[in-house]
Amino acid sequence: MSENVKPYKDSELDKKEQVTKMFDTISKEYDGLNRVISFGIDIKWRNKVVKLVADTKPENILDIATGTGDLAISLTETSAKEIIGLDISDGMLEVGRKKIKSKNLDEIIQMVIGDSEDLPFKDNTFDAITVAFGVRNFMNLKKGLSEILRVLKPNGIFVILETSVPTKTPYKQGYKLYSKFILPTIGKVFSKDRSAYKYLSESASVFPFGEELNNILRETGFINVEDKPQTFGVATIYTASKA
């Protein structure tokens, strides 16, 4: 599965260490390039995640793999009084902390360094947990999902936003062209780290999506699992709950 797709082919570091190093390196360019590579549609997808979470009226939310905090910031539109953004890359968190401070949101959002596969929280802590474009970077997906299930409150909502692969013509062919040639070229031209954008498209093409990821969520113990493909299937929003 995606454990074998790593950012740096010749490195001795394991996937987790490589992913941390990669996001530390691209942290300052991440927000700008993110808008370019998704043509800005990622904002629309994040807003849908916010609406799904808001409808459950959460008091506290954990945003895992929060990166530079865009989703955590948007989640302040919900009823939550406390939002924790957790990420393994201090570089990404630092960019996020500055944005949060400039928006005077530091009373509500706390940015915490941590690993999704070993969460520093007690069982049944959060009403809602979100992960946007994070799960495919986990070294051990099942361990990360089990930890999320552990810290989610019973009846809480878990929402994943992740890339997926269009299955219908002509989107399937268009996506292949985009991920094989356009995305790595954008990375080569604009990024400090040439391997990073190659890794991002390679990891997206092998990561389980749709019913396959639904089944992994069910095997982990989540209930009410549903997937909602977005924009011809280039991304999917998954919702799940805990018994």
- Return the range that interacts with ligand SAM (CB under 6 A); candidates 48-56, 83-91, 209-217, 231-239: 83-91
The residue nearest ligand SAM at its CB is 67
Q: Does 87 bind ligand SAM (CB under 6 A)?
A: yes
Do strands 235-241 and 223-230 pair parallel, antiparallel, or not at all (unpaired)?
antiparallel
Q: Which of 2, 25, 116, 220 binds ligand SAM (CB under 6 A)?
A: 116
Binding mask 4-43 for ligand SAM (x = CB under 6 A): ------------x--x---x----------x---------
Render 48-77 in DSSP notation, one character per residue. Answer: HHHHHHHTT--SEEEEET-TTSHHHHHGGG
Shortest Cβ distance from residue 222 to ligand SAM (Å)?
A: 19
Q: Which of 78, 137, 201, 230 binds ligand SAM (CB under 6 A)?
A: 137
Distance CA 93, CA 63 (A): 12
Contact 13, 88 (CB under 8 A): no
Residue 68's closest CA among 111, 121, 120?
111
Which SS3 state, helix, strand or coil, does residue 44 take? Answer: helix
Q: Does 187 bind ligand SAM (CB under 6 A)?
A: no
* Tokens (6 digits) for 147: 């930890």
- Return the range that interacts with ligand SAM (CB under 6 A); candidates 4-12, 63-71, 188-196, 213-221: 63-71
Q: Does 88 bind ligand SAM (CB under 6 A)?
A: yes
Shortest Cβ distance from residue 119 to ligand SAM (Å)?
A: 9
Distance CA 237, CA 223 (A): 15
Residue 116 assigned ligand-binding role: yes
Q: Does 214 bind ligand SAM (CB under 6 A)?
A: no
134 to each of 88, 124, 141, how far by Cα in Å?
11, 21, 10
Residue 239 assigned ligand-binding role: no
Residue 68 assigned ligand-binding role: yes
Shortest Cβ distance from residue 14 to ligand SAM (Å)?
A: 11
Other C-beta atoms lying within 10 Å of the C-beta of residue 99:
17
Q: Does 66 bind ligand SAM (CB under 6 A)?
A: yes
Furthest-apart CA atoms within the chain: distance in Å: 48
Paired strand residues for 158? 129, 240
Binding site members:
68, 87, 115-116
- Interface with ligand SAM by CB under 6 A: which residues? 16, 19, 23, 34, 65-67, 70-71, 87-89, 92, 115-117, 132-134, 137-138
